[in-house]
Structure 1
Amino acid sequence: MTLGITIPLGMSLPEHATVLPRLAESGYDEFWSSETAGFDAFTPLVHAAAVLPGARFGTAIAGVFQRGPALLAMSAAGLAEAAPGRFTLGVGAASPAIVERWNGIPYRRPVRRVRESVEFLRAALAGEKLPNGFRLERPPATPPPILVAALRPTMLRLAGSLGDGAILNWLSADDVATVVPYVHEGGPGKRVAARVFLCPTDEPDAVRAAAKRLITGYLTVPGYADFQRFLGRSERLEPMWRAWQAGDRRAAVQAVEDALVDELFVIGTPAECAAHVRRYVHNGVHVPVLAFVPLDPSRDTVTDAIAVAEHYQR
């Protein structure tokens, strides 16, 4: 019953020194980072590794465009040394907004970039000398497995063939059965992690209204929009996309169905949330990585996270 959680949790890193042990005691085995506009993928995990000497850690994800492959290998090697045998390197292409607009780096041929990065990382973390002359001075004693963030078939197959598995995002529990077969085409033993957005609450209607704004912000990004089309949601999301393209943000939010929110977000009491997360596992996810989204200001995230973990283990 492996259970992961996304950190940090809306508090300073020093405050996590007392919170992380409580989360581990409640049932979280793995602690994963994200990388958008908060912290980078590695710093929170280095801090957590010093606090939790027995836990597992993972990046979901470290972008391959924002870093050169040698720097990415060095960062991964440092974390693999801090948590020997307990670190998973998750990499991915991120999005044009993050890569081009925020970092000023051309976003070209993402599949090729991910493939070449994984090949480089695999060799570098094994201590090999690369054709460009780079060799890690301190390769980890146990090279970390490499998971690839993937949405559609081409990247999912790459995750299963070249990587050790995939990291999924923005999909329902039922969608898992559609996606994971592409990963397993790469052979047995592939690991599948999925970021699952949770909003524990006693006021689901209010939370759904806030979640709709997040859905419009993400699912209008071309990559995520294409993913939803692949999953068969074109007809349901077309009104939202049309309103967004017309510049009517309010209409776009209103076009999102409540039923869609309940598919892409886990909403309800901690017990209901835990039961929903189990559906992801039943359908093929090995590591559900819970991402608590603070859409209900009356809730305490740590208290809810502990409650969800305790119900999940029952």
Structure 2
Amino acid sequence: MRLGLNLGYWQRYADDATETVLAAERLGYDSVWTAEAYGSDAFTPLAWYGARTSRIKLGTSVAQLSARTPAATAMTAMTLDHLTGGRLLLGVGASGPQVVEGWYGQPFAAPLARTREYVEIMRRIWRREEPVTAPGPHHPLPLPGGLGKPLKLITHPLRPDIPVYLGAEGPKNVALAAEIAQGWLPLFAFPSKIEEMYGEALRERPPGFDVAAMVVVIVTDDLRAALDGVKLMLTLYIGGMGAKGRNFHADIIGRMGFAEAAERVQSLYLSGQKEAAFRAVPDELADGISLVGPPGRIRERLEPWHRSPVTNLLVMGPRDEDSLRTVRDLVLG
């Protein structure tokens, strides 16, 4: 089991976590990850932290496909990988229709086919075997009927095989990750249910495939407050991070066995009853996808994670050096 730190994306205010990242590197954390939604982007903070560190790997969890063309993402990844000495882990994901259509103004269509095409184009760019052409239909290169011609990346990549991870929640998307990527980034993972939910999708994963699960970790004697913190996050994702008819976060909670609760949370949230939606999130769900409570309790609850297909825990929550050390000792000790 490897250990990473997931910083997520900025909330209301800018969040320079340099001291946290430096502490994580000193303590032997394998990686640090940033994210994006419709606020801070994923790449700029990694460049900032990469300039101040020397060893820790730098991951995007995730960079949204609709935010950039495949060529733009490939260029950014190549540049950052060079500047940081080959430390980039490129996590990408299709996001959902609310963000893709509402924020980027792009159609949300055929996410599986679009993801496959996107990753293949990036790999062709990095390999520099020939000028890049792609038949589409989502990202045709060159643009049909235009004046463009196939081009080859000017700069030779430091690594022509930059590791690609997919942020995926549905079984078909997870199977795609196992087929075309080096890793999978599950946002919500219930360790005792991963095999049941995704065993078939992961069956053909290659050796070394990294299942890097994001998990909220709160070391505290106040279990109630910790669970409420996880429930607050779940309320937003189940209730507000998707449209009524298409919310992948609510869908995955349903597949975990909480379909009725997910439907109730979303209905309450979308009707403006956010406090009632929060109360409708089951404690069992919040506890199952997180590691919260006193150290002894967390140590016991780590056992299902170690028995699961997860190979990498990307912890969310700890920020000071003492907390990072405690989490490290619990997970790796």
Shorter-chain TM-score range = 0.7 to 0.9
Q: What is the deviation of 1:72? A: 0.5
The aligned amino acid for 1:140 is: P
Would the alpha carbon gap of residues 250 and 112 (structure 1) be closer, same or farther in structure 2, given more than 3 Å must change?
same
Secondary structure of 2:2's aligned partner: coil
| Alpha-carbon distance in structure 2 between the residues aligned to 1:275 and 1:120 | 44
Report if aligned partners of 1:204, 1:268 keep a CA contact under 8 Å in 2: yes
Show the counterpart of 2:287: 262
1:192-231 correspondence runs (5 A)? 192-220=211-239, 221=242, 222-231=247-256
Q: What TM-score do the two structures reach when normalised by structure 1?
A: 0.87
Range that drifts further, 244-253 or 5-14:
5-14
| Alpha-carbon distance in structure 1 between the residues aligned to 2:200 and 2:275 | 37
1:1-314 correspondence runs (5 A)? 1-7=1-7, 16=18, 18-128=19-129, 129-131=131-133, 132=141, 133-142=150-159, 143-178=161-196, 179-220=198-239, 221=242, 222-244=247-269, 246-270=271-295, 272-273=297-298, 276-277=301-302, 279-292=304-317, 301-314=320-333
Q: Give the unaligned 5+ runs of structure 2.
A: 134-140, 142-149
| Alpha-carbon distance in structure 1 between the residues aligned to 2:67 and 2:162 | 20
Matched residue pairs, number? 307
CA deviation map 1:89-127 (0-9, x unaligned): 111101223222223222222222211111111111222
| Alpha-carbon distance in structure 2 between the residues aligned to 1:199 and 1:114 | 34
The aligned amino acid for 1:165 is: G
Identical positions, percent? 28
Q: Give the unaligned 5+ runs of structure 1.
A: 294-299
Secondary structure of 2:51's aligned partner: helix
Q: What TM-score do the two structures reach when normalised by structure 2?
A: 0.83
Would the alpha carbon gap of residues 303 and 149 (structure 1) be closer, same or farther in structure 2, given more than 3 Å must change?
same
| Alpha-carbon distance in structure 2 between the residues aligned to 1:206 and 1:167 | 27
Report if aligned partners of 1:266, 1:277 keep a CA contact under 8 Å in 2: yes
| Alpha-carbon distance in structure 2 between the residues aligned to 1:139 and 1:108 | 33
Secondary structure of 1:104's aligned partner: coil
RMSD over aligned CA atoms reads 2.5
Secondary structure of 1:175's aligned partner: helix
Range that drifts further, 228-237 or 251-260:
228-237
The aligned amino acid for 1:151 is: E
Secondary structure of 2:67's aligned partner: coil
Report if aligned partners of 1:7, 1:32 keep a CA contact under 8 Å in 2: yes
The aligned amino acid for 1:215 is: L
